[in-house]
Amino acid sequence: MPLTGFVAPVTLVGSLIQQTAENLSGVVISQLASPGHPLLYGGSPAIFDVRFETTPMGAVETMMLDCANSEIGHRLGLPTQGYIALSDAKQLDAQAGLETGVGAVLAALSGINSISGPGMLDFESCQSLEKLVVDNEICGMTCRLLEGIEPREDFPALPIFQELLREKHLLIADHTRRYLRQEITFPGAVIDRAHRDRWLQQGRLTLRERAAREVARLVEKYTPSRLPGEAKAELTRLMECEARRHGMEALPPGEE
């Protein structure tokens, strides 16, 4: 977890050199302890914002460190991980969307194998369920991007355009019905694509309100884990012990 200009060189290259050394030492330690054990090559590098003494995970330089670190891991033949596609914002707002969206696309294009970020706010400090359902849509868009553009019976092209000229639309064309859902991603209720009139009629909901409604819907239909009751009780006990160790008298509501 090098921090540029604080506990690592201020340059991105210098920070990556340090992180590589740290990661390789971790690889050695893990393999000495358990030869052949699977691992992820990653970490949580960040720049250091000297103005606020913070480690902004949504900074573009931090994202660049994650992507470059993944390139190094892949060069070594290892699966990679990165804390990216998250935000330093304190609530679900434009900053959260900006930082998460840019990070998700960069992570996907860089081939990071395990992306630890969706749902996170405030420098990796908390998880937001509302942000998580929004991030699910961001991930869907990113996955569609990775699929790229492929021909789907588009050649020869003339018959399709002849049908368009004849019918004045292609809404119910055989070609449209075959490939509509493969070509076009339709987001869930969190994303607004309606005309303004319809948006007004449906209550003028903001993104946060739509996200909260979606969280409530998912929680309502949630099927509890089939984990044995004794195991659940033991997990709760361990979490309560950790909570007390950090000054919390009880777990947050709904987390038991």
pLDDT computed for residue 225 by the predictor: 86
pLDDT grade, residue 255 (50/70/90)? Answer: very low
User: Domain span at residue 197?
Assistant: 189-222
pTM value is 0.86
Query: Are 67 and 176 in a shared domain?
Result: no
Query: Are 136 and 67 in a shared domain?
Result: yes
Query: Are 199 and 240 in a shared domain?
Result: no
Q: How many domains does the chain have?
A: 4
Positive or negative, the CA dihedral 48, 49, 52, 56 is: negative
Query: Are 49 and 73 in a shared domain?
Result: yes
Query: Are 182 and 194 in a shared domain?
Result: no
In this structure, the strands spanning 81-82 and 114-115 are: parallel
Query: Are 106 and 134 in a shared domain?
Result: yes
How many whole angstroms separate alpha carbon 91 and alpha carbon 160? 47
How many whole angstroms separate alpha carbon 216 and alpha carbon 130? 9
Query: Are 26 and 100 in a shared domain?
Result: yes
Query: Are 131 and 5 in a shared domain?
Result: yes
- Which candidate, 89, 93, 97, 99, places its Cα nearest to that of 121? 89
Query: Are 197 and 182 in a shared domain?
Result: no
- Can you list the positions of beta strands (E) in 12-128? 46-47, 81-82, 114-115, 120-121, 126-127
**How far does CA 180 lie from the centroid of its chain?**
26
Query: Are 208 and 244 in a shared domain?
Result: no
Query: Are 144 and 120 in a shared domain?
Result: yes
126-175: pLDDT as tens digits: 999 999 999 999 999 999 999 999 999 999 999 999 999 999 999 999 99
What's the mean pLDDT in 60-81? Answer: 97
Q: Crossing angle, helix 94-110 and helix 60-75, to 10 degrees?
A: 20
User: Which tokens in the block code for residue 87?
Assistant: 């935000």
pLDDT grade, residue 3 (50/70/90)? Answer: very high
Query: Are 200 and 233 in a shared domain?
Result: no
pLDDT grade, residue 256 (50/70/90)? Answer: very low
What's the mean pLDDT in 192-204? Answer: 96
